[in-house]
């Protein structure tokens, strides 16, 4: 998806303000790249690898910025004729650095950008602004069912088998299992959920934004993992969008190999996600102990991951954060994908996004090249984790991130001699550097991956219904066993960190209202679990 409102093909030459060659500094591989830039009257600044041909539609750009409210800043070090553009991309302020061949050329570009920016600011000051309410997308359950059934049926078709009966308890999604926050059913009229409804047992993990705690619902004695995030930190770190995305994605998704959200609620200072508790630990921990997994074990985990990603893609969701630390095992040894904060919604086949995000070792080449990218980044991630499982190391690695990125973009993939031909074929396809030629990168998406010889022995329908026995079952003694979690966390006292004391005057009502306005319509409740009461509105 481009930043600008018009596609490049619909733009007209008469709308051009200035055009020409500039050198742009890469954001991740810090080299200078020649780009032919065109600035349009609406503030769109598009960069192309070659100069667009006269009389033909503009091609898709490599760079796409909106500079109508930008600042242009001059620099002459470390090289002459440099300038930086500071502008807003979605909700994030970004900075991009350029240099021109001459000072005169630089001044022409800066003058043109400032002209557009000044016109925009004048227009904004003269006209009253419409009020935009942030509306949470409410997806009809019927549409989710259709998508889920379509994907499930396609997976069964690989084996030439009939679809699973919709009454099966582990089906992807059945009508009525989820409730939007606008639900007016009887369940929606139940009491609010508060922190007092839980007994906190052990800390499972800590991070910058908060804690994950094993808890027990007092009324039912059911165990959950509750992720408690600090609102102030989320806002300060500009993570509101990612947090709300995670909440929306979790609400929409129901799949046997994705962690399930039971409900979410908020307090004055915290956001709370109540999730199923997968006490088998991270796949990362198990691989560290084993060194490598057998191809059979890797095939089982890989197949469950493929089904889960195929389901997400069927909902036009790109996961974007595939790594061993986000792959959990439940008590029986099945995969549970966790952490949906980096998901990108509304990305179908052919759609693109451009945000740089993810863990360095798992980033796909197209992300590093500052190019738009689509859902094939997830298949690259699957390639990396499956390579780790079977080879015991990352396919590309350097402690120096600059060198790491160069390896990802240009280095040849190497395999241990012990790998089977089928495993090498699968990994080579998933780790193909061109996303358009990558395995899974076409319109068939997950089905293309499922059809690989490496997965020939998989009965996809049985796998989906969890009828295939996992190759490894975690050694957990009870439902509250946390032996697969870091003792540094599980031995820590269970308590919430209070918000930091203000050095100045107490927060005003307006300041608190402004903070809470970021999280309207956060609460959610999954009606499938009869033990749950309606998720709360914000507690006073």
Residues serving a catalytic function are: 321
CB 523 within 8 A of CB 265: yes
d(CA 501, CA 503): 6
> In the structure encoding, which two tokens stand for residue 286, read together?
């198990």
- Residue whose pair of structure tokens reads 């509750």 in the numeric block: 226
d(CA 314, CA 418): 35
Say which DSSP state 26 is in: -
d(CA 112, CA 83): 13
CB 151 within 8 A of CB 158: no
> In the structure encoding, which two tokens stand for residue 334, read together?
């099945």
End-to-end CA distance of the chain: 39
Number of H helices, E strands in the chain: 14, 15
SS (H, E, C) 146-209: HHHHHHHHHHHHHCCCCCCCCCCCCCCCCCCCCCCCCCCCHHHHCCCCCHHHEEEEEEEEECCC
Chain length of the chain? 540
- Angular region, 62: left φ>0, alpha ψ -120 to 50, beta rest: alpha
Residue 282: φ, ψ to 5°: -80, 145
Strands (E), 232-277: 261-266, 270-275
- Residue whose pair of structure tokens reads 């991956």 in the numeric block: 449
d(CA 442, CA 435): 9
- Residue ranges at the known binding site for ATP: 227
Say which DSSP state 258 is in: B
- Residue ranges at the known binding site: 227
Say which DSSP state 490 is in: H
Query: Pick from 331, 326, 335: which is nearest to 299 by CA?
Result: 335
Query: Pick from 226, 227, 264: which is nearest to 136 by CA?
Result: 264
266-272-273 Cα angle (round to 5): 130
Give, in order, the Cα–Cα distances in Å from 527 to each of 12, 178, 182, 254: 52, 6, 13, 12
Say which DSSP state 137 is in: P
> Beta strand pairing status for 32-40 and 44-48?
antiparallel
């Amino acid at each position: 998806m481009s930043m600008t409102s018009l596609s490049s093909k619909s733009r007209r030459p008469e709308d051009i303000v200035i055009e020409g060659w500039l050198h742009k500094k890469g954001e991740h591989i810090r080299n200078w790249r020649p780009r032919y830039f065109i600035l349009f009257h609406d503030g769109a600044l598009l960069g192309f690898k070659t100069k667009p041909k006269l009389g033909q539609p503009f091609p898709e750009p490599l760079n796409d910025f909106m500079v109508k409210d930008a600042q242009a800043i001059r620099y002459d070090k470390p090289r002459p004729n440099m300038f930086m553009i500071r502008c807003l991309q979605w909700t994030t302020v970004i900075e991009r650095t350029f240099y021109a061949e001459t000072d005169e050329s630089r001044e022409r570009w800066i003058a043109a950008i400032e002209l557009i920016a000044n016109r925009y600011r004048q227009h904004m000051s003269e006209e009253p602004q419409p009020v935009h309410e942030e509306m949470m997308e409410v997806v009809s359950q019927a549409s989710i069912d259709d998508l889920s059934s379509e994907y499930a049926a396609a997976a069964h078709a690989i084996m030439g088998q009939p679809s699973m009966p919709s009454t099966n308890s582990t089906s992807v999604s059945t009508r009525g299992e989820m409730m939007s926050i606008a639900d007016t059913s009887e369940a929606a009229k139940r009491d609010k959920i508060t922190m007092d409804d839980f007994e906190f047992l052990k800390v499972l993990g800590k991070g910058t934004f908060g804690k994950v705690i094993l808890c027990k619902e007092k009324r039912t004695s059911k165990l959950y993992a509750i992720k408690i995030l600090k609102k102030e930190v989320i806002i300060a770190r500009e993570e509101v969008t990612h947090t709300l995305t995670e909440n929306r994605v979790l609400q929409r998704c129901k799949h046997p190999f994705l962690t399930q959200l039971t409900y979410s609620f908020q307090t004055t200072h915290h956001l709370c996600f109540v999730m199923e508790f997968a006490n088998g630990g991270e796949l990362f921990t198990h691989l560290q102990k084993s060194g490598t997994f057998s191809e059979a074990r890797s095939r089982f985990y890989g197949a469950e991951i493929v089904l889960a990603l195929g389901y997400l893609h069927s909902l036009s969701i790109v996961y974007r954060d595939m790594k061993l630390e986000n792959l959990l095992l439940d008590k029986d040894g099945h995969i549970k994908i966790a952490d949906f904060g980096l998901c990108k919604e509304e990305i179908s086949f052919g759609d693109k996004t451009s945000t740089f995000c993810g863990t360095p070792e798992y980033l796909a080449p197209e992300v590093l090249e500052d190019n738009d990218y689509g859902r094939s980044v997830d298949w690259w991630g699957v390639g990396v984790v499956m390579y780790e499982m079977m080879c015991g190391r990352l396919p590309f690695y350097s402690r120096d991130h600059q060198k790491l990125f160069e390896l990802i973009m240009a280095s040849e993939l190497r395999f241990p001699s012990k790998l089977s031909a089928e495993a090498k074929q699968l990994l080579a396809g998933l780790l193909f550097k061109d996303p358009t030629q990558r395995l899974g990168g076409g319109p068939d998406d997950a089905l293309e991956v499922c059809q690989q010889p490496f997965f020939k022995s998989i009965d996809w329908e049985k796998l989906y219904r969890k009828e295939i026995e996992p190759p490894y079952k975690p050694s957990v003694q009870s439902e509250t066993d946390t032996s697969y979690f870091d003792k540094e966390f599980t031995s820590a006292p269970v308590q919430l960190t209070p918000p930091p004391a203000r050095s100045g005057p107490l927060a005003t009502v307006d300041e608190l209202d402004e903070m809470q306005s970021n999280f309207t319509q956060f609460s959610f409740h999954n009606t499938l679990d009869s033990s749950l009461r309606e998720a709360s509105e914000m507690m006073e």
